[in-house]
Structure 1
Amino acid sequence: MASSTLLTLILVFLHGLRGGDGCFTAIFSFGDSIADTGNLLISEHGNIQSARPPYGQTFFNRPTGRYSDGRLIIDFIAEALGFSFMPPFLEGPVDGGFRRGVNFAVAGATALDVHFYRERGLDVIRTNLSLQTQFGWFKELLPSLCSTDSDCWNLLATLLVLAGEIGGNDFAYAFGQGKSLSELKSYVPIVNHAIGVLINDLIELGAKTLLVPGNFPIGCTPIYLIMFEYSEDHDLSTGCIKWLNDFAQYQNKHLQLELDHLRVLHPHATIIYADYYNPIMNIISNHNKNSTGKVTLAACCGGGGPYNYGNPVHCGDDRASVCDDPLLYISWDGVHLTEAAYRFIAEGLLEGPFADPPIKKVCYKRSQAHKVDDA
């Protein structure tokens, strides 16, 4: 079990999320399980892993379809900006419809359409609800939110779009089915271009503020640590697999180049790069500088074995065990993170330094601009 130093490190940065100032009228979210608040649960009629305890135990006290013990990054951002939690699109409109926000993200989703992978002999086993499908849902929904082109333009101009995290599954499916590192690198520009197309299309429809996350340090994740357990390229200071983290940084670098290109095309839009890599590495590295022990890379919830992951028993199964305190862990179930880790990332996106520019800085500039317009 990790020492209490990890808890202390996280809590130092969690000085409380302050309420938003109304700078956005809604939040729209696209992505995969890092952001899914229930779409896969609904599409699979409840027959999924995250529909069973102990998922949701830390905050909701019940499973909600979120792949964590509690809230996700999108939940903390919504709370900080004064919104309720984003309802999943497949739930259908609740009171007031979706004008205050909606979540299109689906666990297991890929940035590229499943046909891309099937043509290359890969099986995308979780879902075929790719980024293209999610954008189709958005276009299907839009006429119910605004009646004219001008109305739609004004609506989109005042909302925050979370475009991801997406792309992680594209690489996970390929790694898990034996594709080489060189072939995975050839997918990077294609995956990032698909993300870029979504952003470009949203901006052309009127979106002004978009948050685009990069990839996590996958070499520190139990699923990959088990998948490549015989790799000789472990970082002795962290326990992570270096070449996998190098690949994540390679993808993140090329995603940022894609965003730079979009910023040139759309200088009046604010495209925020969200760093999901360095928050996790900071937790691990800062702990190891100040402690003789290491942050555990094991999952809080799982079926035992190395990293508490990788055998037939998974989190949510009857025989799975769960740690006493998820605050002491980064990984929740071997693939996804704990609420504590997600909250740490969210704080860095809202206040800095893990977003460029931070969300609340964008809010401040928007509020100042509104004051000038109203003067």
Structure 2
Amino acid sequence: MELLKLHLIALFLLPTSTLGFNKCNFPAIFNFGDSNSDTGGLSAAFGQAPPPNGATFFHSPSGRYCDGRLLIDFIAESVGLPYLDAFLDSMGTNFRHGCNFATAGSTIRRQNTTIWQSGYSPISLDVQYLQFSDFITRSQNFREKGVFQNLFPEEDYFSRALYTFDIGQNDLTAGYKLNMSTEEVKAYVPDVLGQLSHVIKLIYGQGGRTVWVHNTGPVGCLPYVMDRFLVTAAQIDKHGCSSPYNDVSQYFNLKLRELVLQLREELPAAAITYVDVYAVKYSLISQAKKLGFENPFVACCGHGGKYNYNRFIKCGSKTVVNGTETVLAVSCKDPSTRISWDGTHFTEAANRWIFDQVVGGAFSDPPVSLKFACNKMNTSQK
């Protein structure tokens, strides 16, 4: 019922008509992010996400930490474009309609650690931007030489493309892994968002004009967070999530929304949409059973414990017993009934439900659907 109300409110808030706006015809998508939108970057660099990842839709590992499609895949489908290949993948890739620079474990600002120590990717947002900038130059050089022309975007695609951002969640958990308090994590949020702002401005300088920014989801509802950071009963809200960790997510999102408003003033030709995926994901988790899902805190693919999650035995992990290889962390029988895939990421079924809520603009500022997101609006929700 609450979601229906929000949808109706959004309809009334839409510009008198999207009748006066042009439907967007995005020729390409360029994505920046972490595991929530990684379609193969980390797998290409550090080894493929093992089966049963990919089993539901792709029927084999696809570089995604999910049983199937991610939000970015549904975004590509909805605008009539192919799924995005990862920039780091050298096997059978086609970048004509865009490129994905996201890698699982990525953060906005660089981490003073290695992926082997902390799990965070060395491909932070500034590196993703450098890859993008290099991609622009080199792709056009190849096209001018007549080499692989059909595998790279045409020059005007960059100004007409959709630029998507889904990153920041790992910046928050990074502080907790260093035993910082919630207040200490909040204290560095402005610096994190300052670096995000810098990259968006650089992309604008390269001609990018349509930006679709997801805020960060409710970190305190993720099984791996509740398991890793030993959440106490007193910290659990009425829906089973950890309030302190969700509090820092909401603070990050508040500051991110303020940043988007500021960027609209500083980048006058840009159409920047802020998408509240936090509200959608929290609604999904809090209404899981009503929406046909099982316990939202039990991972589909995992091993043992309260949440079927063990950070040392992740989805697809194997061991050898008496000379026989055995998979320790296997998939549940029906991933479509689960919200959490592996304790950290969402299932395809959950991703599809989330996408269906956000694509129409009901959770966006301005409240405009994806198909009209290239139109710059003069008003913003307050």
Q: TM range, normalised to the smaller chain?
A: 0.7 to 0.9
CA deviation vs aligned residue, 1:233-261 (integer Å, no higher than 9, x gap)? 34452111111111110100001111111
Cα separation, partners in 2 of 1:200 and 1:220, compared to 1, 3 Å: same
Equivalent position of 1:275 in the other structure = 276
Equivalent position of 1:26 in the other structure = 28
Cα separation, partners in 2 of 1:152 and 1:265, compared to 1, 3 Å: farther
Equivalent position of 2:313 in the other structure = 313
Equivalent position of 1:16 in the other structure = none
* Aligned mates of 2:339, 2:199 — CA distance in 1: 30
Cα separation, partners in 2 of 1:203 and 1:311, compared to 1, 3 Å: closer
Two-structure CA RMSD over aligned residues (Å): 2.6
User: Unmatched 5+ residue regions in structure 1?
Assistant: 1-20, 367-375
- The residue matched to 1:302 in structure 2 has which SS? coil
Shift in Å at residue 125 of structure 1?
3.8
* Aligned mates of 1:136, 1:336 — CA distance in 2: 27
Equivalent position of 1:160 in the other structure = 162
* Aligned mates of 1:329, 1:35 — CA distance in 2: 19
Shift in Å at residue 91 of structure 1?
2.0
- The residue matched to 1:307 in structure 2 has which SS? coil
Whether 2:121 is the aligned partner of 1:127: answer yes
TM-score of the two chains, using structure 2 as the length reference: 0.80
The count of residues paired between Structure 1 and Structure 2 equals: 331
* Aligned mates of 2:97, 2:311 — CA distance in 1: 42
Equivalent position of 2:138 in the other structure = 144
Deviates most, 55-64 or 152-161: 152-161
Whether contact under 8 Å (1:106, 1:129) holds in the other structure is yes
Shift in Å at residue 161 of structure 1?
0.5
TM-score of the two chains, using structure 1 as the length reference: 0.81
Alignment of 1:269-348 (within 5 A): 269-287=270-288, 295-310=295-310, 312-317=312-317, 318-348=327-357
* Aligned mates of 1:284, 1:44 — CA distance in 2: 32
- The residue matched to 1:30 in structure 2 has which SS? strand
* Aligned mates of 1:260, 1:153 — CA distance in 2: 29
Cα separation, partners in 2 of 1:300 and 1:92, compared to 1, 3 Å: same
Whether 2:99 is the aligned partner of 1:102: answer yes
Shift in Å at residue 187 of structure 1?
1.5
Whether contact under 8 Å (2:37, 2:70) holds in the other structure is yes
- The residue matched to 1:157 in structure 2 has which SS? helix
Could you say which structure has the higher helix fraction? 1
Tell me the amino acid that sits aligned with residue 332 of structure 1: W
* Aligned mates of 1:126, 1:243 — CA distance in 2: 22
Deviates most, 168-177 or 31-40: 168-177
Shift in Å at residue 267 of structure 1?
2.4
Tell me the amino acid that sits aligned with residue 372 of structure 2: K
Tell me the amino acid that sits aligned with residue 308 of structure 1: N
Tell me the amino acid that sits aligned with residue 103 of structure 1: N
Shift in Å at residue 195 of structure 1?
1.1
Whether 2:41 is the aligned partner of 1:39: answer yes
* Aligned mates of 1:106, 1:138 — CA distance in 2: 13
* Aligned mates of 1:91, 1:236 — CA distance in 2: 41
Equivalent position of 2:72 in the other structure = 74
* Aligned mates of 1:93, 1:335 — CA distance in 2: 27
Shift in Å at residue 93 of structure 1?
8.5
* Aligned mates of 1:42, 1:159 — CA distance in 2: 25
Cα separation, partners in 2 of 1:286 and 1:189, compared to 1, 3 Å: same
Whether contact under 8 Å (1:216, 1:276) holds in the other structure is yes
* Aligned mates of 2:173, 2:237 — CA distance in 1: 24
